[in-house]
A and B are shown apart, each in its own frame.
Chain A
Amino acid sequence: MRATKYFATAAFLAAALSAFGSNPPQVNIPDWVQQAANQPKGTYSDETEAVILLDETSVRVISADKYEEHERVVFRILRPGGRERAIVGVTAGVGEKVSDLHAWSINPGDHKFEVKLKEFTKSSPYDANALYSDIQGYVTKVPGAEVGSIVAFESSVVKKTYMGEYDWVPQQTIPVKNVSLTIEFPPRWEFAESWANSQAIKSQQVASNTWKWSLTDLPAIEQEPMRPSYLALAARLEVAFFGDGKAMSGTWGALGTWYKGLADPRRASTTETKEAAQRLTAGKSGFDAQVRAVANFLQRDIRYVDISIGIGGNQPHYAGDVFHHRYGDCKDKATLMATMLEDLGYHSELVLVHTKRGVVQPNVPSGFFNHAILAIAVPKEVPDDAYPAIVKTKAGNRYVIFDPTNEYTPFGLIPSYEQSSYVLITTSPGEMVHLPVFVPELNRTDRVGKFTLNNDGVLSGEVANRYVGDEASDMRMNLATYDGKDRAKFLEASASASLKQASIENADFQNLKEIDHDLVIKYEVKMPEYAQTAGGLLLVRPRVFGDKAIHLTKKPRKYSIELEGSRHDHDVYEIKLPAGYVVDELPENTHIDVGFAMYDSKIETVGDMIRYTREYVVRDPHIELSHLDDVRRLESAIGSDEFANAVLKKAP
């Protein structure tokens, strides 16, 4: 492009000058902003970026599918990082209307600033997962936002609700002084409420069928490594409302019925889906072989593409369209799979889930989900233990839970991030079920290394890794982002956590695409300077690969610990000693079992080799804060074992 830097600069200055030629506009700060700003400053931790002084939401329910939301927020910026909070705005989709937007600020020099509706910038909220969404953002960066500034924001938006529900999350990642929600329902309408992560806050009737919930001094949900998701910790109110005695939300049963009504019409079979189902299962008989064939097709051949327009954020596209175009989002894929299975005579139901464990809670019925998967009815002849992902409803109906969006987790298993979650099977009525945590053996890594150490301290050898279950899925997902050449570099980079100078060659990937089989990766590795000389001694670390430690800091902790999932790792490393050396001393073996996890290692001399074996088992990925001391003991034991050395000496 041709450049005109000077020209552009001159034009900018001219424009800027004309703007500067006028007097600053008169800014009137509303009383409610001023009152909030006048509150005492309070005392907060050094890490607090900002504090919300007032967060007042008023909702007027207009009809079963529409409400007007009016919000006022005032906050004080305490630290430089808090300036980012001065980027404020709202979103609105098709059929929703932004009727008012306003922002103000008062800086420490008492200068006042205002942003009016027309000055907000239209922008599309970024979502890496969505190719297209009709959601439009209206945002502004409030001027004058610096440390010590008061920033206020007021919005009024007419919004749509597809299930007669309002979600309110008053607790934030910064402290909140005063927060309230007022909902005005039409005369004679009813509502049901439930609270997550908080004691129930009693509502007060403030006008005719108008109810208010108020809270004060809510602490921040702080950042902490390996804590549960923010949404699994923050106080949240769910309000379901209805005027005709029939709630779409408020109970799991109603939600299931509502969603089934929305999704079922999209499951209509077409000639194409029927033919495909027959073609994929030709020559295959029985539930497992046929469902597996369809599952593989959905995982491999239907590309994940999220195009959400209006209710399309909730309602799947027609199965026939998804099949024809060969793309769709999670609910589209689940719907197409349900249709194809139905063509084969297998019944299934869509399942709603949140991918962050702990967000959906059984006593808080709401549509607070972000993902759709499938529950496939299990035929009578299939035993209960045929698949780890079988769940049973209260009525005794059995389903295999399956996620066709996850391209790497085979039929019969579910990914770790869905395990131990509550999910809604969208039958009519719907039913909440708890997905199991798999036994560790189902998420397994076996690593065998056979090495030779030479007199110069160079360790070289062959390594074979076998990945099972979630461990295989994760590794396949990582490897999918690299082409063949970069995979060796990926392995080198992974190894570098344990080995600082490893070079990897002749990497061989078995069953990389065959997700129903274990993934096997073999390679040759060479590590110069692996052993160190110390006087006449040679120091060798028997644990060649693998960092199992949890790496918590010593900082006091507030929240429980959430590991990825259960796992069982088994390592065997054999190191052939260099000629002329014998073992002088070996580190002690390690054994620790803290209930939720177990670590066991053994170091021994076998002929002219050192043999190191260890097992690491995580039985429960959710660790209550009360077990923090156990985590630290485990951490210490693992760290001590992983860095322990064998001492070799010259043979006499």
Chain B
Amino acid sequence: MTSRRFSDATLPLLFLLLCFAAPLCRADWPPVTKEELDFKNVPNVPDAPAVVLFHEEIDDDTIHYHQVYYRIKILTEAGRKYADVQVPYDRHGSNVGSVKARTTHADGTVANFEGKPLDKEVERFAGYKIHVKTVTLPDVQVGSVIEYQYSWRYDDNLVISPKWELQGDLYERKSNYKFVPTQHEVVNERDVISSGLAWVSHLPKGAEIKSFHDKYYELTLNDVPPFFEEDHMPPPQTFKYHVAFYYRWAVQADAFWKDEGKYWNKQAEKFLSRNGGVREALATIVAPGDSADQKAKKIYAFVQTLDNTSYMPRQSEEELKTIGLKPNLGVEDVLRQKRGSRNNITRLFVELCREAGVPAYLMWVTDRGENLFTPLYLTTDQLDEEIAFVTIDGKEVPVDPGTKFAPYSVINWRYTGSKGLKQLPGGKAELADSPAPTHGGDAIQRVGSFRLSDEGEAQGTLLVRFYGQEALWRRLEGARTDESGRKKMLEDQVREWLPSNSEVTVIKDATWMDYEKPLAVEFKVSAPILSRAGKRVLMPTDFFVVNQPAKFAHKDRIHVVYFHFPPREVDNITVVLPPSLEVESMPTPSTNQLPYAVYSSKPTQQGNTITTVRNMEVGGLVFPVPEYPTLKGFFDKMKAGDDQQVVLRSAVHAGN
């Protein structure tokens, strides 16, 4: 048997192509049936623009060949866009064969696509030649059935295990998928021979991948609904029906992760071991009498001062060469060049801690903003970035030195509540949970003191403090621009909270760089907050939330609700009324409490001063669909509380 190996250079590209277009060619078109020509209504999708009547994909790694076939019924004018077909491919290493297409009209007559597909190079870089073949089907009308098919060949030295996305934006009545894996040995870059084929999948109820003596695999689906995205949902690709095949390098998951953990650990330790200059640097960072906690914090503060290239504009090789920079092959390079990627910086932190006698180790985790970790998906492709742990007085403390501006022991939410490989003593690593998200520490606090003018403008100052993740994402966003851009960013955010025509100016600049402290910024605000009610006027109690839309606008929910981190807001807003106005009635305090969420808004009056203290906190990240009505109800009630108004009237003064 011959061992086959990937060409490494084509890998990213092939992935790209698979994302764009899955790969067919039939000798004849299957007849379009009367039932298909008459088909008009898609179940549960009224007025759907089109419906996929039949979709077939065949991936054959034995002959390095992919085929795609679509039969689509056009149901509305908007659905005619599906008649434009674009097939991207890399001409260097692969080729799209003939593209055939035809239109069957509602009366059964057929218009074949007789032209030649337009082929255009759209991108050429580093040896890649990305082309697109374009076909637009002829004479497509509402009621037409369009069909197209194409095949795609790739180099003999490549095997490509497919990832089938089984759910798209159209309802699919029937779809067939077939994968023929190579019968040759597949060898990875570590010369490990594949131990066969495996897959992970999320399939509709009752669907099953059938194996035909491991020679090929088939999946047939009926009536797959289109996928709908919603606000506050987990990464969508994890919720779409899909199958991801892969040539596996271990039979058992435990063995795979153990082996991969060992390999990663070895690579990481090799990077850490190139540690020239670490000891000398450490002497300038920590003092001999420092406790382990003090040492870890000082080292953390030191690595945060380095240029973190993960948050800087990408520089080309030529650029780095010209300014005299080299790739970091070890922590010594990071130290010497005073720069590195987030993982480079995390590794330097670990090595410095170890050198200082503080036990420290790494963890390679999945970014849950992009993906959810699947232990049975035996590939390290699903792991993204590294965080670290230090042991202080026998207690494990998670830290995220690789995230610019993350305070000590605050982990970027992307790497919390996830999973990954964690270093163990003895050159091993194991699958473990990443640190759990913390509750209550990620908050927005608004403290405002205002005087209401006779014209109804609230004028005064607002101090806003952003804590935890609320500060972190803003600091990261602010790092992409300059002082003027950061000032505008914050002013725009406050302006969004207020009625239109409000004026907002930063008067005390934010503590952008002091990342261990909350991001605090003071604004001068002038906002028209009164509304008319005949001779009376109405004033919202907390005018920084009255403009915010309802959190959940729709009564139905398809997917679980998912917050990146638990939201929390704390407000204390004071408004002094002008002598011309007095309170006629104050709103009653609003409170609402669920086992996982609390809200209160308490307006009080003292003389001509109205003070509103508001608190909102949610203590969870993921809420199942059955919980949605309760969660929506909580936020709706909160909105009603936030919208309450103080009724004011002209003050009656005795004498002149």
Contacts and interface: CB of A to CB of B under 8 A. Distances in A.
B44 interface: yes
Given A532-B640, A535-B586, A587-B534, 6 more contacts: A6-B190, A17-B327, A147-B482, A484-B47, A536-B585, A639-B500
Given A80-B482, A639-B501, A5 B381 contact: yes
Contacts of A585: 533-536
B122 A480 contact: no
Interface in A40-71: 46-47
A558 interface: no
A638 to B, nearest CB: 11
Nearest to B186: A2
A586 B587 contact: no
Contacts of A539: 533, 538, 645, 647
B588 interface: yes
Range for the number of chain A residues in contact with chain B:
35 or more
Contacts of A124: 120-123, 132
B379 A3 contact: yes
B381 A588 contact: no
A7 B636 contact: no
Interface string B578-590: 0000001111100
Interface string B142-179: 10000000000000000111110000000000000000
Q: Which 8 A/B pairs are nearest by Cβ-Cβ distance? A: A7-B189, A484-B46, A535-B585, A585-B534, A484-B47, A529-B640, A143-B319, A643-B531
Interface of A: 1-8, 10-11, 13, 16-17, 19-20, 22, 24, 27, 46-47, 79-81, 83, 107, 109, 111-113, 121-124, 131-132, 134, 136, 141, 143-144, 146-147, 300-301, 303, 305, 307, 324-327, 407, 457, 480-481, 483-487, 489, 492-493, 496, 500-503, 513, 528-529, 532-537, 539, 549, 551-554, 584-588, 635-636, 639-641, 643-647
Contacts of A47: 484
A144 B267 CA distance: 32
B47 A6 contact: no
Given A1-B161, A2-B247, A485-B45, A111 B534 contact: no
A4 B190 CA distance: 9
Contacts of A489: 553-554
Contact of A407 (B77, B320, B380): B77
A647 B532 contact: no
A143 B142 CA distance: 50
A5 B380 contact: yes
Given A484-B47, A535-B586, A554-B503, A643 B532 contact: yes
B643 interface: yes
A646 B584 CA distance: 15
Interface in B566-593: 584-588
Given A79-B485, A496-B553, A7 B8 contact: yes
Contacts of A305: 84, 136
Contacts of B321: 19-20, 22, 24
A145 to B, nearest CB: 8
A602 to B, nearest CB: 14
B15 interface: yes
B78 A480 contact: yes
Given A124-B121, A407-B77, A496-B550, A2 B160 contact: yes
Contact of B327 (A6, A20, A324, A549): A20
Contacts of A483: 45-49
Contact of A8 (B8, B124, B317, B553): B8
Report which residue of B18, B228, B499, B550 has the largest number of chain A beta carbons within 10 angstroms of its beta carbon.
Answer: B550
Interface string B223-267: 000001000000000000000001100000000000000010001
Given A1-B160, A121-B124, A324-B139, A640 B531 contact: yes
Main secondary structure of the interface of A (DSSP, over half): mixed
Given A300-B77, A483-B47, A535 B584 contact: yes
Contacts of B656: none
Nearest to B637: A529
B646 interface: yes
B318 interface: yes
A533 B588 CA distance: 8
Contacts of A551: 500-501
A2 B534 contact: no
A4 B11 contact: yes
A496 B549 contact: yes
Contact of A534 (B122, B313, B500, B645): B645
B337 interface: no
10 contacts: A4-B11, A7-B188, A24-B321, A81-B481, A121-B124, A122-B124, A486-B228, A503-B554, A554-B503, A639-B500
A3 B319 CA distance: 29
B131 to A, nearest CB: 10
Contacts of A502: 553
A146 B647 contact: no
B283 to A, nearest CB: 29
Contact of B8 (A4, A79, A457, A501): A4
B533 A480 contact: no
A144 B319 contact: yes
B639 interface: yes
Given A496-B550, A647-B533, A537 B322 contact: no
